[in-house]
Amino acid sequence: MNLFRTIRGGVCILMIAAVTLISVTSANAGTTNGDKQALVAAKEYLSTQAFSLNGLIAQLDSPYGGQFTVAQATYGAEHTDANWYKEALLDAKEYLSTQAFSLKGLIAQLDSPDGGQFTVAQATYGTEHTGANWNREAFLDAKEYLSTQAFSLSGLIAQLDSPYGGQFTVAQATYGARKAY
């Protein structure tokens, strides 16, 4: 009886292993070589630059990028196991290293179809976790504005606070303008 239980348990384990193998094989059965190559390319892109899911698909599908089909690009991007929130944070830090942004402005840039193409949630997470000093960003933006055109102090504050300008809070805009003026 004890031997029967052992054999029966072993048979059960073999059956579970066989079902698992069949499931894995079936899941990979529709995967093409193009899909696999797109996945390799997607991982290479992510190793050098931050991307959103949609941005990575666009890069992989681009005639100037991977030149994969949309289906292959989608497969590759979706199977990278990327943390898109982490990617948004990396992209936010990259933007801040080259240009001054307000919190709202950076979220808009990351969420833009012409920018990062992240979801609003991912863009917000990335922006809020940069550790940016938004007063400093307002100051840097104010200096940039003053280097290209003349402003009164109140005009500069209005530009920095404008939804069409810097999108800083009034307090941040005031700080940045006064420090740069």
Q: Which long-range contacts (CB under 8 A, 24 or more apart) does 12-19 make?
A: none
55-81 per-position pLDDT tens digit = 999 999 999 999 999 999 999 999 999
Q: Which of 1-10, 26-35, 133-142, 170-179 has the lowest mean pLDDT?
A: 1-10
The pLDDT, as a whole number, for residue 30 is 84
Contact between residue 156 and residue 145 where contact means Cβ atoms under 8 Å apart? yes
pLDDT tops 80 at residue 14: no
Kind plus residue range of the DSSP H or E element containing 99: none
For the chain, the domains span 32-82, 134-180
Mean pLDDT score across all residues of the chain: 88
Whether residue 24 has pLDDT greater than 70: no
CATH of domain 32-82: 1.10.10
